[in-house]
Chains A and B, each alone.
Chain A
Amino acid sequence: MFRKFVPFVALLGLGITACQPDLESDFKSSAGSADFTRYIAVGNSLTAGFSDNGLYLEGQLNSYPNLLATQFKAAGGGEFEQPLFNSAQSNGSGYLRITGFDATGNPIIGNVAANAAVGIGADSKTPLLAKYTGTGNQNLGVPGIRIADITTAGYGLNNPVGFNPYFERMLGTSPASYLQYVQERVNTIKPTFFTNWLGNNDVLGFATAGGVGATLTPVAEFTTKYNQMLDVLTTGGTKGLVATIPNVTNVPLFTTVPVAAVIASIKANPQIPNASAASLYIRTGTNTIREATANDLLLLPARAVIGTGATQTTLPIGVGYSATMANPLPSQFVLDAAEITSVTNRTNELNAVITAEAQKRNLALFDANAYFTTVARNGVITNGITNTASFVTGNLFSLDGVHPTPRGYAIVANEMIKAINATYGSSVPQLNPGAYRGVRFP
Chain B
Amino acid sequence: MNLKTLLLASGALLSGTAAVAGGYQVSLAGIKNNGMGGVGVGLSLDQAAMFYNPGALAMVRERGVQLGGNLTFARNSFVAEGGNTQRELRNTVVTPFSLFASYGPTEAKFRAGIAVYTPFGSKLQYAEGWEGRTSLTDIDLKSVFVQPTFSYALTDQLSVGAGLVVLAYGAVNLQRDIPLPDSYGHIELDGKAKTKLGYNAGIFFKPSPMLSLGISYRSKIDAQVEDGDVKFTNISPTFASRFQATKFGATLPLPATTSIGLGIMPSDKLTLAFDINYVNWSAYRNLEFRFDQQINGSTFSTSKRYYQDAFTFRVGGQYKITDAFTARVGGAYDNSPVKNGYVTPETPDADRISGTAGISYAVTEHFGIDLSTQFVTLKKRTQTALDLQNNQTTDRVAGTYKTNIVIPGLGLNYTF
Contacts and interface: CB of A to CB of B under 8 A. Distances in A.
Given A19-B406, A383-B132, A434-B133, A29 B80 contact: no
B83 A429 contact: yes
Contact of B131 (A19, A414, A432): A432
Given A5-B371, A8-B359, A429 B77 contact: no
Given A384-B395, A432-B131, A20 B359 contact: no
Given A8-B359, A383-B134, A384-B397, A439 B181 contact: yes
Contacts of A5: 359, 361, 371
A19 B132 contact: no
Nearest to B133: A434
B73 interface: yes
A22 B181 contact: no
Given A19-B405, A384-B397, A418 B239 contact: no
A12 B35 CA distance: 13
A134 interface: no
A71 to B, nearest CB: 9
Interface in B333-389: 357, 359, 361, 363, 371, 373, 375, 380, 385, 388-389
B83 A442 contact: no
B179 A23 contact: no
Contacts of A393: 181
A392 B84 CA distance: 31
A18 to B, nearest CB: 9
Contacts of A392: 181
Nearest to B136: A384
B391 interface: no
Interface string A386-428: 1000001101000000000000000000100110000000010
Interface of A: 1, 4-5, 8, 11-12, 15-16, 19-24, 26-29, 74, 381, 383-386, 392-393, 395, 414, 417-418, 427, 429-432, 434-435, 437-442
A440 B82 contact: no
A440 B131 contact: no
Nearest to B71: A16
Contacts of A417: 82
- Greatest chain A CB density within 10 A among B182, B395, B408 is at B182
Contacts of B239: 441
Interface of B: 73, 75-86, 88, 129, 131-135, 179-183, 236, 238-239, 325, 357, 359, 361, 363, 371, 373, 375, 380, 385, 388-389, 394-398, 400, 402-406, 408
- Greatest chain B CB density within 10 A among A28, A29, A381, A384 is at A384
A416 B395 CA distance: 24
B84 A429 contact: yes
A182 to B, nearest CB: 30
A441 B79 contact: no
B404 A27 contact: no
22 contacts: A5-B359, A11-B373, A15-B373, A16-B73, A19-B73, A19-B404, A21-B76, A23-B78, A23-B380, A24-B79, A24-B84, A24-B85, A24-B86, A26-B380, A26-B400, A384-B396, A430-B80, A430-B82, A432-B80, A437-B181, A439-B181, A441-B181
Contacts of A23: 77-79, 86, 380, 400, 402
B265 to A, nearest CB: 25
B384 to A, nearest CB: 12
Nearest to A432: B131
Contact of A20 (B75, B80, B183, B373): B75
A432 B132 contact: no
A383 B131 contact: yes
B82 A438 contact: no
A8 B82 CA distance: 41
A24 B77 CA distance: 9
Contacts of B373: 8, 11-12, 15
Contacts of A440: 181-182
Given A384-B397, A417-B82, A19 B179 contact: no
Contacts of A4: 325, 361
Contact of A384 (B78, B183, B371, B394): B394
A393 B182 CA distance: 10
B77 A21 contact: yes
A384 B375 contact: no
Contacts of A8: 357, 359, 371, 373
Contacts of A435: 129
Nearest to A393: B181
Given A12-B373, A16-B73, A434-B134, A385 B179 contact: yes
Contacts of A15: 373, 375, 406
A21 B402 contact: yes
A414 to B, nearest CB: 7
A414 B132 contact: no
A12 B408 contact: yes
Given A20-B75, A27-B79, A27-B84, A434 B408 contact: no
Given A384-B394, A439-B181, A27 B73 contact: no
B142 to A, nearest CB: 23
Contacts of B179: 384-385, 434
Given A1-B361, A22-B77, A384-B134, 12 more contacts: A1-B363, A8-B357, A16-B406, A19-B73, A21-B402, A23-B79, A381-B388, A381-B389, A434-B131, A437-B182, A437-B183, A438-B181
Contacts of A434: 131, 133-134, 179
Nearest to B405: A19
A417 B81 CA distance: 13
Contacts of B85: 24, 429
Contacts of B395: 384
B182 A27 contact: no
A68 to B, nearest CB: 14
Contacts of A430: 80-83
Going nearest first, the 7 A-B pairs with the smallest beta carbon separation are A430-B82, A429-B84, A21-B402, A438-B181, A20-B75, A381-B394, A21-B77
A437 B405 CA distance: 36
A384 B79 contact: no
Contacts of A414: 82
Given A384-B394, A435-B129, A440-B182, A22 B406 contact: no
A104 B357 CA distance: 68
Given A19-B405, A395-B181, A440-B181, A26 B79 contact: yes
A383 B80 contact: yes
A383 to B, nearest CB: 5
Contact of A28 (B84, B129, B359, B406): B84
Contacts of B84: 24, 27-29, 74, 427, 429
Contacts of B404: 19-21
Contacts of A437: 181-183
A430 B394 CA distance: 18
A437 B84 CA distance: 21
B8 to A, nearest CB: 21
Contacts of B389: 381
A343 B80 CA distance: 39
Contacts of B238: 441-442
- Greatest chain A CB density within 10 A among B131, B180, B402 is at B131
B289 to A, nearest CB: 16
Nearest to A378: B389
A381 B389 CA distance: 9
Nearest to A25: B86
A51 to B, nearest CB: 13
Contacts of A383: 80, 131-132, 134, 397-398
Contacts of A29: 84
